[in-house]
Amino acid sequence: MKQKWDGTTSLPIFVCKKGCEVMSKLQKSAYSYALIVPGIALYSIFFILPAMAGLVLSYTNVHTFNIQEITFAGLQNYINIFTDNSLKIAIKNSLIFGAVTTVFKVFLGMILALFLSNKLRTTNFLRTTFFLPAVLNSVSVGLIFTAMMHPSTGIINGFLKTIGLGGLAQNWLTNPQLAIFSVANIEIWKWTGFTMVILLAGLQSIPQSYYEVADIEGTTGFQKFRYVTFPLIMPAFTNALVVNMIGGLKSFDLVQAVTQGGPGSATEVLGTLVYKSFGSGRYGEGCAASIILCVIVLVIVLPTFKYFSGKEVEV
Amino acid sequence: MKLKRLVSLALAVVMIASLAACGQSGSSTSSQSTPVASVQSQDKEIKTLTMLTFTEWYKTGWQALEKYINDHSQELGFKLDIQKIAGGSQGEDILKVKFATDDLPDLLQSYGSSWLDKQANSINKMVDLTGISSVSQYDAAVLQEGGYLYNGKLYGMPVDTTNLLGVFYNKKVFKEAGIEKVPSNWNEFLDACEKVKKVNKVPLYYSGKDAWTLQCFAHFGFNEEVLKSGKDFTDFWKEMNTNKRHYADNKDFLGAIERSKEMVDKKYVNPTYLSDTYDMAQTALAKGDAAMYVNATWVIDEISSKYPDAVNDIGAFPLPLYDKDNYTSSSLPSSIGMTTKCKDMELGKKAIDFISSDTAQQIYANAQTGIYLNKNVKVKLAPAQQDLDDVMKAGKSMPLWQGSGNEYGYGTFDKYVQDYYVGSRTADDVLKALDEETAKNAKAANDTNWK
């Protein structure tokens, strides 16, 4: 058997010695479908099915794990969520958290990526150092920052007082107006390195010759970034932006570890609201809250993705 | 092709032969082990009972008792295999799943019959233990009040200690501040706070980072509420649990919440109280940086292990919100019961009878001091525990409403209190939120009283 390129398809077709086609078009498509069946099956079992079950359960009363006890609740679970006093705060905080963390993670990640795309002696060391917080456990990070941000014993206020800036010392995590921004800062610290890696991958895909041409044209550093680098890393930028937006809007672990949504409900986000419903044993309501969170994320992220992906250019 | 068939046949024969050989080797082993088996049969047959508990409940008391049981299994006739799962809402969910799927241990330590009935819908999967002899070592009224006796059936026996709520105070700080006797009404309490403040110590420590601790203050208001209602605790809660009375109707409870904030407003509490933890409170009280801390006797267990020298300097009294009848709240021990999946019901009963007996409870108490419900257990209590035990023995205690009274969850009371302290809610809103959450949970459970 040998391979022969027939020039009409993108894949070579196997032909037998006598020249007859071993695989007909029909067989080929069946073969392709057969290969994706395991993937589809796993995706259906572990994603589609639970998602559909969640949607169905959001219209039911479920407070035990006994299927016979489940009753139809209509829109009651959605009404409960929409009339929850914490919902307004949770939506506001999720939007603040998502916007602040996305902007800073992408901005700082971009600066780090540009800086570390240069060949320095310490490049690899610095890349590892900046990426390291991303692999730390959120609960550990939360506990460390909780201790650091303690108003009287924390090192942040201690440092400010030592350098004579005691006036800037704050109740970082217990001032209701400030707390959400303090948690956002921790998130930015943790994930900026990760964003840097995504953007760095984009930067490395740009051919050096483009910069050489730009040099010949006499462009400044900023012009190179504006007209060469940024347009060409747009796919990586869109990716980083969308990943961070979704992460910010769905944030839960860090908020739970640092403030548990407190003081009171000052740092309540949509993720902690979902947890609260499940934690109260109202599983139907928890599912409804998850669906609402999903819709909010989609409504914000999809147009953003569409807008930025439309601006991408091929290298 | 013939050769292929022959090879397959030969392989099949070899496999069958090897399997048969395995079987023979098993039987030959058993025939060889007959003398051993007969030696074993001379001893009592020891069955192992599985028991499920929450990790947080497996403390020094259980460790000592488990060791004793397994060391004396010949004499007792059973061994214990204690499985532990993390507590909290996740642990509760695991327990509910276990009930739903009938994946149950022989014995189960749980919050008690009311929780099993109303929250887990599984009281029918627990066995009535009526008839076990150790019951006589307990006060019948306490068994009733604590829900061990439920709907006329004994679904569990107490295990672990009773905890009592109170104001824990550092005697040295009181002396330094010139406070000669513990406050017995609100004005005296405020006066004591003022005196402590003058010696530059924290009068009352709040550990708001661990929000649950902020609830303790308000519990004393609930005692007054029940007393003023003229009803007993059970009847009072029957009204609350059937939508006839609401949290918002409880004005003394409201008053207690307001007084807890009054302490913040008067700067009697540590300025960083929302960032300070339960652990920090123990240190502050033991070291004398703070004069008082409102919590339960479990705080003494913690101080005993971390600052043993300080335990004798700490006393306790019920929070004196009122001129008279300042009650303590009692959090009764968890309950050990037998599930319908127990593989040997008689042995299961025997095991629970032993675990709740004075012999076993004394072993438990020797390893873990505290207030035990078994009347025959002798324990030397720490001064603070003794102070509150005296109050309870004088008849001035009431079950802690959380868990003992409410059938439905009321939301995050601790968070609502935090909200009130930082100005995001009023005290009335706190009670309104408790009612709203109760209604949601009752409706989710299809309770017709809330339709």
Contacts of A248 (CB under 8 A, 6+ apart): A94, A97, A98, A99, A100, A101, A102, A187
- Whether residue A141 is found in the same domain as residue A280: yes
The closest of B190, B180, B326, B173 to B269, measured between CA atoms, is B190
How wide is the angle at C-alpha B97 spanned by C-alphas B95 and B101, nearest 5°? 120
Quick check: bond before B105 cis, omega within 30? no
C-beta atoms of A151 and B211 within 8 A? no
Do A103 and A27 lie in one domain? The reply is no
Q: Describe the strand order of the beta sheet including B78-85 as a list of residue ranges.
A: B78-85, B47-54, B107-110, B334-338, B157-159
* Distance in angstroms (rounded) separating the CA atoms of residues B186 and B319: 8
For residue A257, the chain B residue with the least C-alpha distance is: B209
Residue B364 — very low, low, confident or very high, per pLDDT cuts 50/70/90? very high
Residues in chain A within 8 Å Cβ distance of B437: 280
**Do A255 and A126 share a structural domain?**
yes
B100/A contact by beta carbon, under 8 A: yes
Strand bridging mode A60-61 / A71-72 = antiparallel
Nearest residue in chain A measured CA to CA from B116 = A64
Q: Which of A190, A203, A201, A305 is nearest to A246 (CA)?
A: A305
A45/A90 same-domain check? no
Across the interface, do B415 and A262 touch by the CB < 8 Å criterion?
yes
CATH number of the domain residue A112 falls in: 1.10.3720.10
User: What domains can be seen in chain B, in order of their start residue?
Assistant: 44-161+333-376 (3.40.190.10), 163-331+385-450 (3.40.190.10)
B contacts of A61 (beta carbons < 8 Å)? 443-446
Rounded CA-CA distance A103/A211 in Å is 27
A281 and B446 within 8 Å at the Cβ level: the answer is no
Both A28 and A161 in one domain: the answer is no
Contacts of B420 in chain A (CB under 8 A): 264
Q: Residue B310 has what pLDDT?
A: 96
Q: What is the pTM of this model?
A: 0.79
What SS3 state is found at B52?
strand
Across A256-265, A305-314, B54-63, B279-288, the highest mean pLDDT is recorded for: B279-288
The single-letter code of the amino acid at B105 is: P
If asked whether residues A272 and A150 sit together in one domain, one would say yes
Asked whether residue A59 carries a pLDDT value surpassing 70, the answer given is yes
SS3 for chain A is: CEEECCCCCCCCEEECCCCCECCCHHHHHHHHHHHHHHHHHHHHHHHHHHHHHHHHHCCEECCCCCHHHCEECCCHHHHHHHCCHHHHHHHHHHHHHHHHHHHHHHHHHHHHHHHHCCCCCCHHHHHHHHHHHHHCCHHHHHHHHHHHCCCCCCHHHHHHHHCCCHHHCCCCCCCCCCHHHHHHHHHHHHHHHHHHHHHHHHHHCCCHHHHHHHHHHCCCHHHHHHHHHHHHCHHHHHHHHHHHHHHHHCCCHHHHHHCCCCCCCCCCCHHHHHHHHHHCCCHHHHHHHHHHHHHHHHHHHHHHHHHHHCCCCCC
Cβ within 8 Å of residue A311, ≥6 positions away:
A231, A234
The reply to whether A117 and A218 lie within a common domain is yes
The C-alpha atoms of residue B16 and residue B8 are separated, in whole angstroms, by 12
Q: Closest partner residue to A66 among B89, B100, B275, by Cβ?
A: B100
Residue of B nearest to A85 (CA): B433
Residue B295, classified by CB atoms within 10 Å of its CB into exposed (0-12), middle (13-18) or buried (19+), is: buried
Residues of B in contact with A262 (CB under 8 A): 211, 274, 415, 418
- Write down the pLDDT at residue B177: 97
Residue contact A264–B437, C-beta within 8 A: no
Handedness of CA B406, B409, B415, B419 (dihedral sign): negative
Going by the DSSP 8-state scheme, the letter that residue B446 receives in this structure is T
- First-to-last CA distance in chain A? 38
Note whether residue A315 is domain-resident.
no
Mean pLDDT of the region B374-379: 93
Chain segment A1-34, per-residue pLDDT in tens: 444 445 445 444 444 555 455 667 777 788 888 8
Determine how β-strand A2-4 pairs with β-strand A13-15. antiparallel
The answer to whether position A65 is within a domain reads no
CA nearest to B276 within chain A: A150
pLDDT at B425 > cutoff 70 = yes
Distance to chain B for A102, nearest Cα, Å: 28
Q: Which of A62, A260, A280 sits opposite B411 (nearest CB)?
A: A280
Which of A61, A263, A279 minimises the CB distance to B89? A279
CA distance A282 to chain B (A): 7
A interface with B, Cβ–Cβ < 8 A, is: 61-66, 69, 71, 73, 76, 80, 85, 146, 149-152, 171, 173-174, 176, 260-266, 276, 278-282, 284-285
Examine residue A32 and state whether it is found in any structural domain, yes or no. Answer: yes
State whether B412 and A284 contact (CB < 8 Å): no
Share of chain A above pLDDT 90, in %: 71
Same domain for A14 and A84 = no
Pick from A61, A265, A284: which is nearest to B415 by CB?
A265
- Interchain CB contact of B115 with A (< 8 Å): no
A89 and A219 in a single domain? The answer is: yes
User: Which residue matches tokens 């459970």?
Assistant: B445
pLDDT at B86: 84
The predicted-structure confidence for A173-215, as pLDDT tens digits, reads as follows: 999 999 999 999 999 999 999 999 999 999 999 999 999 999 9
User: Closest residue of A to B417, CA-based?
Assistant: A264
Query: Do B438 and B239 contact (CB within 8 A), yes or no?
Result: no
Average pLDDT over residues B398-402: 88
pLDDT of residue B267 exceeding 90: yes
Stretch B150-171: mean pLDDT, rounded? 95
> Token digits for B334?
């968890």
Mean pLDDT of B340-349: 95
Nearest by CB to A266, from B92, B422, B440: name it. B422
Interchain CB distance below 8 Å, B412 and A76: no
Closest-approach residue (CA) in chain A for B100? A66
Contact list in B for residue A63 (CB cut-off 8 A) is 441, 444-445
Q: What is the pLDDT of residues B236-263, one digit of tens each?
A: 999 999 999 999 999 999 999 999 999 9
Q: Is residue A56 part of a domain?
A: no
pLDDT at B163 over 80: yes
Q: Which has more confidence, B76 or B114?
A: B76
Residue B162's DSSP bridge partners are B371
Chain A residues with CB-CB distance to B446 below 8 A: 61, 71
Q: How far apart are CA A103 and CA A181, in angstroms?
A: 13
Report yes or no on A94 lying in a domain: yes
How many domains are there within chain A?
2
What is the ipTM metric for this complex?
Answer: 0.74
Chain A residue numbers with beta carbons less than 8 Å from the beta carbon of B208 are 174, 263
Domain-embedded: residue A229: yes
Q: At what angle do helices A234-249 and A179-204 cross, to 10 degrees?
A: 160
Residues of chain A neighbouring B211 (CB-CB closer than 8 A): 260, 262
With an 8 Å Cβ cutoff, are A263 and B446 in contact? Answer: no
What is the rounded average pLDDT of the residues B411-437? 93
Query: Is there a domain that residue A64 lies in?
Result: no
Whether residue B422 and residue A76 make contact (CB cut-off 8 A), yes or no, is no
Domain that holds residue A9: 2-49
Residues A40 and A143 placed together within one structural domain of the fold: no
Q: Which chain B residue has its CA at the smallest distance from A89's CA?
A: B424
CA distances to A136, A198, A234, B71 from A307, in Å: 33, 19, 11, 71
CA distance B101 to chain A (A): 8
Q: Which residue of B has its CA nearest to A81?
A: B440
- The answer, yes or no, to whether residue B442 has pLDDT greater than 80, is yes
Q: What is the DSSP letter of B45?
A: P
pLDDT digits (tens, 9 = 90+) for A74-107: 999 999 899 888 888 999 999 999 999 999 999 9
- Do residue A19 and residue A147 come from a single domain? no
Non-local (6+) Cβ contacts of A304 within 8 A are A241, A242, A245
Which range has the worst mean pLDDT, B114-118, B221-225, B431-435?
Answer: B114-118
pLDDT band, very low/low/confident/very high, at B404 (cuts 50, 70, 90): confident
Give the Cα separation of A209 and B4 in Å (integer).
Answer: 65
Chain A residues in contact with B409 by the CB 8 A cut-off are 280-281
Residues A44 and A137 in one domain: no
Measuring CA to CA, how many Å separate B121 from each of A66, B118, B125, B158, B269? Answer: 9, 5, 9, 21, 42
**Are B409 and A61 an interchain contact pair (Cβ–Cβ within 8 Å)?**
no
**pLDDT value at A55 more than 60:** yes
Q: What is the mean pLDDT of residues B69-96?
A: 89
Cβ contacts of A174 on chain B, cutoff 8 Å: 208, 272, 274-275, 422
The model's pLDDT over A236-291, given as tens digits with 9 standing for 90+, comes to 999 999 999 999 999 999 999 999 898 988 999 999 988 888 877 788 999 999 99
A215 found inside a domain: yes
Q: Alpha-carbon distance B407 to B120, whole Å?
A: 11
